[in-house]
Structure 1
Amino acid sequence: MASRTQNHIFLLEDDTNLSETVTDFLEEEGFAVTCAYDGEEAEAMLYERRYDILLLDVNVPGVDGFSLLKEARERGVDTPAIFITSLNAIENLEEGYASGADDYIRKPFALKELLLRITTLLKRNFAHRETPRVPIAEGVEFDAVGNTLYKEGEPLSLQPKELALLKLFLAHPGRTVSHETIYETLWDYDETPSESALRTYIKNLRKIIGKERIVSIKRYGYKYLPL
């Protein structure tokens, strides 16, 4: 397995055999992969968390890949995206880039070529990423590149799950994040989610950014209210 900070990839591919092949390969390379098999399922899953790369087949049941990405871009999703498709006409290429794609790979393809395209986009995205701290509350800023929270200019120490929870809220400003999504993000598959631990993480974050910034939605989840 390659040594790297784990990046999370969203894969939309309706061919289950190809989906499994790509997923197994990428997981062996150290990536986490979330799969969807049709456009409507992808629509429901795409906004549940922040991904580092989107791999999108075009001709899938339900919403096609072009329309899915175009809507995502309109909703502010700037995650680098690669279309995986058998379409090869120049018009298809133009439509793909017009919908917001960063790259395009045609079937059939070599898995190592896909890996090269993914790693190239990740490096490009990191190199172009601005590093200013983002204000998230009065006197509180977050550096998304360094994964560091600052209060009055001083770095604060957060537990890993508190940091993951904060990043999840910042990826969904003004939107309710369900308990289920939080549990899936904070706890690994071999861990048991803890409601009491989650309440503690919420309490600690509220102490830093203000109770009014994290609103409890009864029986459903929490909502982060940006400045």
Structure 2
Amino acid sequence: MKILLLEDDLILNEIIEEFLNGLGYEVTCVFDGMNASEVIYENHFDLLILDVNVPNMTGFEFLKSLRENNITTPAIFITSLNSVEDIEEGFNSGADDYLKKPFELKELELRINNIKRLLHLDSDEIEIAENISFNSKLNYVNNNSIKTKLPLKEAQILKYLVNNANRCISQDELSSNIWTYEGLPTSSTIRTYIKNIRKILGEEYIETIKGVGYRFNKK
């Protein structure tokens, strides 16, 4: 699991990085908002841990810009800003959780585990329906005991749709969260991937919302 850590306090950044590495996470550390903006579009991350008062662009501004560009990577704010108004702004920016400084590292671990549980971020076997499951580590669908291996991009698309079940996902959102800007897919390419996934799962699971995108219908 890959984590982007935005924290301008060098000592705290190092402490958190060491702690997360000890838990088995791959951590990329950045120290200001502009650097975070550069890194986010060059790599895929499973989770963002963001301080707010950082140079060049605040954590609030950074996350808000990501959400405006349809990047839905879950995010936890870690900040000394602790008023109700600050917390409200954090969640309005698109945060999934808000952790006030100072905090125990164990509490950060618990918050991460909760997000992983809710979004299946660390679950290999994801139940799609009765007798149908998706192994997101080995990239295969088990449909009534018939296992079918998915190519990488199709597996990533399916995982994203499943994690956002019953919500309409645009092609732009899929592109922003799965591809880097260096190689964005065409609409035709995405339609082909969706078609291939439907052949394995069944037509009824991925619905086309005309003019908008796709919705995964969780049974």
Matched residue type, 2:95? A
Q: What is the alpha-carbon root mean square deviation over aligned residues?
A: 3.6
Give the deviation of 1:131 after TM superposition.
6.5
Q: Pick closer, same or farther for the CA change 1:9–1:156 going to 2, 3 Å.
A: same
Verify the 8 A CA contact 1:9 1:51 in the aligned structure 2. Answer: yes
| Counterpart-to-counterpart distance in 1, 2:94 and 2:49 | 13
Q: Which residue of the other structure, out of 133, 136, 140, is the alignment partner of 1:145?
A: 136
Output the CA distance in 2 between the equivalents of 1:122 and 1:68: 22
Deviation at 1:146, TM superposition (A): 5.4
Cα deviation, residue 144, structure 1: 7.7
Do the aligned partners of 1:174 and 1:226 also contact (CA within 8 Å) in 2? Answer: no
- State the identity as a percent: 40
Paired residue for 2:83? 89
Supply the distance in 2 between the matched residues of 1:15 and 1:174 (Cα, whole angstroms).
Answer: 29
Query: 2:39 corresponds to which residue?
Result: 45
Task: Normalising by structure 2, report the TM-score.
Answer: 0.63
Over 3 Å counting, the alpha-carbon distance change for 1:176 and 1:123 in structure 2 is: same
Q: Which amino acid aligns with 1:57?
A: D
- 1:226 alignment partner, SS class: helix
Residue of 102, 110, 113 corresponding to 1:108: 102
Q: TM-score, normalised by structure 1?
A: 0.61
Work out whether residues 52 and 79 of structure 2, in 8 Å CA contact, stay in contact via their aligned partners in 1. Answer: yes
Q: CA deviation at 1:145?
A: 3.2
Shift of 1:36: 0.8
Q: 2:181 corresponds to which letter in structure 1?
A: R
- The answer to whether the 8 Å contact 2:42/2:181 transfers is no
Unpaired segments of 5 or more residues in structure 2? 129-133, 158-173, 192-219
What is the number of equivalent residue pairs in this alignment?
A: 164
Q: Matches of 1:157 and 1:73 in 2, distance apart?
A: 28
1:155 counterpart letter in structure 2? T
Query: Which sections of structure 1, spanning at least 5 residues, go unmatched?
Result: 1-6, 133-142, 178-212, 215-223
